[in-house]
């Protein structure tokens, strides 16, 4: 069968529509029997031996090897396309005007999307989309703004693939403790000590950490906890919120303000954030704390970034792998530079 590269399209001859589109979901039918293929699709047909050659515009025939080496097709796109085909999916390159269903057209409208993947057993003629896939090499950076509602297919330097599902979750919980006000505390260099606090601060609010498990009288608050509690009036402290925030900036710079915005947003939305240090994150967060004896499992690991942020796929892989290993969901809190709004992004491993 004749197939000719022209610009970024491979036009295939007479039986192509029947052989490749109708039976296997390759390409975009244009008129009676003819088919337009994206180069990555043509590369896959060459690889499978379903096409013998693609002619270059000047008439030279290219086999799989020559075609892959040409500028026409990206190696990473090919590796992801092939892998999804190997997994039993039909998929289409995201191109204007190539998609039939409304779901596929809406996926194509997102410029970050490279492939529209249909549910197993379906294809471009169906109404459903299983995954919207963006292909990246491990060495590219990925703008956070592109993520959410799509699957990142990362091709690492050894040509192995990792799929990461990204979403824009609702982050809410039911934790809420009615705390007394005016509790006195003392600001130290990187913490606040409550020398004789009401038990509710720790036991109901899960603020702080007892200095001694046996005695339980002295409570150590982090500067974030202290700043949040002075702002809500629970904690009374020389210099108030401002003194705590100032100390926070001294030890942590701007990062303190970003983390405080996220800390307070989590508390307002009914979650209890605690340090994520042991997981290398900013926070772990509990959604439904009744008391310190009944924390439930901390569902979220939270890392804070300022918007706009671009991820290195390797850093993402690290966070997601760790979160998965400890059965938590990795979420990223993206804070604007005025620290007024927090956007949430979750990323998890996916096996398509």
| Shortest distance in whole angstroms from residue 157 CB to a second copy | 4
Maximum CA extent, the chain = 86
Burial class from Cβ neighbours inside 10 Å (0-12, 13-18, 19+) for residue 160 reads: exposed
Sheet strand arrangement including 342-350 = 91-93, 115-117, 131-137, 150-155, 161-167, 342-350, 329-335, 300-306, 283-286, 272-275
Residue 311 CB contacts under 8 Å (≥ 6 apart), including other chains: 141, 142, 143, 144, 147
| Nearest-approach distance from CB 212 to a second copy, in angstroms | 8
Q: Which is nearer to a second copy, 69 or 199 (CB)?
A: 69
- What's the alpha-carbon Rg for the chain, to the nearest Å? 27
Distance CA 152, CA 134 (A): 5
- The site for a second copy (CB under 8 A) is made up of 65, 68-69, 74-76, 137-139, 154, 156-160, 162, 186, 188-191, 193, 195, 208-209, 211, 220, 222-225, 251-252, 274-275, 277-281, 313-319, 321-322, 325-326
- Which one-letter DSSP state was computed for residue 327? T
The CB-of-125 to a second copy minimum distance in angstroms stands at 28
The single residue of 263, 297, 309, 324 carrying the catalytic annotation is: 297
Q: How far is CA 7 from the centre of its chain?
A: 34
- Give the shortest CB-311-to-a second copy separation in angstroms: 12
Distance (Å, rounded) from C-alpha 77 to C-alpha 135? 6
- 260: enclosing H helix or E strand: helix 254-268
Coil, helix or strand for 152? strand
Q: Which of 163, 286, 309, 324 is catalytic?
A: 286
Report in angstroms how near the CB of residue 166 gets to a second copy at its nearest.
17
The nearer residue to a second copy, 19 or 44, going by C-beta atoms, is: 44
Nearer to a second copy, 36 or 225 (CB): 225
Do 100 and 120 meet the contact criterion of CB atoms below 8 Å apart? no
324 included as an active-site residue? no
Of 11 and 44, nearer to a second copy (C-beta) is 44
Between 138 and 336, whose beta carbon lies closer to a second copy?
Answer: 138
Distance CA 34, CA 11 (A): 7
- Establish whether 328 is a catalytic residue: yes
Let me know how long the chain is: 352
The C-alpha atoms of residue 138 and residue 126 are separated, in whole angstroms, by: 32
State the nearest-atom distance from the C-beta of 14 to a second copy, in Å.
30
Q: What secondary structure letter does DSSP report for 191?
A: -
Which CB sits closer to a second copy, 173 or 185? 185
Question: Closer CB to a second copy, residue 91 or residue 317?
Answer: 317
Token match 């997102």: residue?
Answer: 110
* Least Å from the CB of residue 101 to a second copy: 31
Write down the catalytic residue from 44, 274, 309, 328. Answer: 328
Question: CB neighbours of 42 closer than 8 A, spacing ≥ 6?
Answer: 3, 5, 10, 12, 51, 54, 67, 73
Active site residue 278: no
Catalytic annotation, residues: 286, 297, 328
């Amino acid at each position: 069968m004749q197939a000719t590269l022209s610009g970024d399209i491979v036009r295939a001859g007479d039986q192509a529509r029947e052989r490749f589109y109708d039976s296997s979901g390759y390409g975009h039918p244009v008129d009676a029997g003819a088919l337009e293929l994206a180069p990555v699709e043509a590369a896959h047909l060459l690889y499978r031996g379903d096409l013998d050659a693609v002619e270059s515009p000047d008439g030279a025939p290219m086999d799989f090897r020559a075609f892959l080496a040409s500028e026409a097709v990206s190696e990473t796109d090919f590796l992801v396309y092939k892998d999804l085909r190997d997994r039993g999916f039909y998929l289409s390159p995201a191109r204007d005007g190539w998609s039939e269903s409304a779901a596929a057209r809406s996926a194509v409208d997102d410029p970050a999307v490279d492939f529209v993947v249909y549910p197993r057993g379906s294809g471009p003629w169906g109404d459903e989309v299983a995954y919207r896939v963006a292909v990246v090499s491990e060495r590219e950076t990925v703008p956070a703004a592109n993520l959410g509602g799509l699957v990142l297919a990362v091709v690492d330097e050894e040509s192995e693939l990792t799929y990461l599902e990204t979403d824009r979750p609702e982050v809410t919980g039911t934790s809420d403790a009615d705390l007394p006000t005016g509790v006195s505390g003392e600001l130290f260099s990187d913490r606040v000590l409550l020398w004789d606090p009401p038990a509710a601060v720790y036991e109901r609010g899960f603020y702080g950490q007892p200095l001694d498990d046996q005695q339980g009288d002295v409570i150590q608050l982090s500067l974030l906890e202290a700043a949040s509690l002075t702002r809500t009036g629970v904690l009374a402290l020389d210099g108030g919120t401002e003194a705590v925030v100032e100390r926070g900036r001294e030890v942590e710079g701007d990062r303190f303000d970003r983390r405080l915005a996220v800390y307070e947003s989590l508390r307002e939305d009914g979650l209890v954030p605690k340090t994520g240090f042991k997981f290398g994150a900013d926070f772990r967060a509990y959604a439904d704390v009744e008391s310190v004896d009944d924390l439930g499992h901390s569902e979220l690991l939270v890392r804070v970034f300022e918007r706009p942020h671009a991820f290195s796929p390797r850093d993402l892989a690290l966070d997601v792998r760790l979160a998965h290993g400890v059965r938590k969901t990795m979420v990223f809190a993206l804070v604007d530079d005025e620290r007024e709004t927090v956007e949430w992004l979750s990323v998890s491993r996916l096996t398509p």
